[in-house]
Structure 1
Amino acid sequence: MIEHADDFRDTLMQIKTGNLKNARTTKIQLSPITETRHAVQLSQPKFAEKLGISVNTLRSWEQGLRKPSGAAKTLLELLHRRPELIHELHA
């Protein structure tokens, strides 16, 4: 337990001094749907409302649990290329 406390203290000191050369970083790969939603700065509920879908459906798409198909897939591909078009959709 004390060993972990020392590691934690050392990490905090590295952050404080900006000495992060040996720090481990993790890059998170966002789904194209999540990237699009972030690009237009909308929350999941607001983005789902614009698309006319439930928040649960959007979450499952963003998490890769399900994939959109048909018109939804086409619309999302278009919005990924031209995110500003989201504002043309009426909810």
Structure 2
Amino acid sequence: MPGRVDVRSIREGLSLTQAEFAARFAVPVDTLRKWERGVREPDAASRAYLTLIQRNPKVVEETLAA
């Protein structure tokens, strides 16, 4: 199971704004903001999803577009 993830680092590594990241990867922008501010932590499934986005964002984008 993935451990702690740095959501902001993942997003910034893709050079996306919060709104762009949220739209591209189907994450509510409010949720993304709370994760980045540390108000909330992603659950296990979200951590796995974010790890996949970090490692291979193109596959995630292609899968969501299908």
TM-score scaled by length of structure 1: 0.53
Offset, 1:85: 4.3
Q: C-alpha root-mean-square deviation of aligned residues, in Å? A: 2.3
Higher helix share: 2
Higher RCO (C-alpha under 8 Å, 6+ residues apart) = 2
For residue 30 of structure 2, the aligned residue among 56, 66, 73 is 56
Aligned partners of 1:64 and 1:72: how far apart in 2?
15
Are the counterparts in 2 of residues 36 and 83 from structure 1 also a CA contact under 8 Å? no
- Listed as ranges, the gaps of 5+ residues in structure 1 are 1-30
Gaps of 5+ in 2: none
Once the two structures are TM-superposed, the CA of residue 42 in structure 1 deviates from its matched residue by 1.0
Identity level (%): 34
**How many residues are treated as equivalent by the alignment?**
61
TM-score w.r.t. structure 2 length?
Answer: 0.68
